[in-house]
Copies of this chain bind each other. A is one copy, B any other.
């Protein structure tokens, strides 16, 4: 409770732009909470009252589509969630669910907006963050629409290995169904793609445990779709 934001080591680039007084203001209007694996952080359509900052852990962002619930993105530590809903709309436009035990800061929306209006450097850093985020969606959009399943699976395995776990061996914290919608395909097709890459000797898979065996070839598959 005491001076938590001031002394927090896991500050976002934006939070680093805040003055000591503003950090005190922030810690008076935010709340830290630990979410368990599978626990809902917020739900699409529900009223939005806080902006979420992921201090540690891993969260999936998902949204109802015309046919099924779509996984939009895997958000690692350092991500802001729900900013989009804070401003114009007051309801969440997507859902967030913890994939691993995650420590999450809930920042009161109005206070967050006050910080933006008070500190232009904070706002600027936030803009940088939002722009990066949007560019990533562009790339994902293009990949997803032009690559076929094996390529998209290769992308995703490299994403988890490089960006999330920083290891060539990891436990994938997704069900086959979620992996399917993350790849914009079905559970069955995801399973078959895993089998294909496995048969090629590119990866080794046992249940949710994945290992990269041939990184070169995996990158080739990722690139050529």
Report if A119 contacts B (CB, 8 A): yes
The segment from A133-141, A158-166, A196-204, A209-217 found at the interface with B is A133-141
Q: A83-B131, A124-B117 are in contact. Are A146 and B65 (CB under 8 A)?
A: yes
Is the Cβ of A134 less than 8 Å from the Cβ of B145?
no
Is the Cβ of A146 less than 8 Å from the Cβ of B72?
no
Chain B neighbourhood of A139, CB < 8 A: 63
Instruction: For the complex formed, measure the closest distance between the CB of A134 and the CB atoms of chain B, giving whole angstroms.
Output: 5
Is the Cβ of A88 less than 8 Å from the Cβ of B132?
yes
Report if A70 contacts B (CB, 8 A): yes
Nearest chain B residue, comparing its CB with the CB of A126: B127
Is the Cβ of B127 less than 8 Å from the Cβ of A87?
yes
Is the Cβ of A124 less than 8 Å from the Cβ of B116?
yes
Is the Cβ of A84 less than 8 Å from the Cβ of B223?
no
When chains A and B are docked, how far (Å) is the Cα of A130 from the Cα of B137? 13
Instruction: For the complex formed, measure the closest distance between the CB of A108 and the CB atoms of chain B, giving whole angstroms.
Output: 16
Which chain A residues numbered 166 to 225 have a C-beta less than 8 Å away from chain B? 184, 223-225
Contact of A117 among B117, B120, B144 (CB under 8 A): B120
Q: A65-B146, A223-B66 are in contact. Are A84 and B141 (CB under 8 A)?
A: no
Is the Cβ of A138 less than 8 Å from the Cβ of B224?
no
Instruction: For the complex formed, measure the closest distance between the CB of A81 and the CB atoms of chain B, giving whole angstroms.
Output: 12
Chain B neighbourhood of A94, CB < 8 A: 138
Chain B neighbourhood of A63, CB < 8 A: 138-139, 142
Chain B neighbourhood of A117, CB < 8 A: 120-121, 124
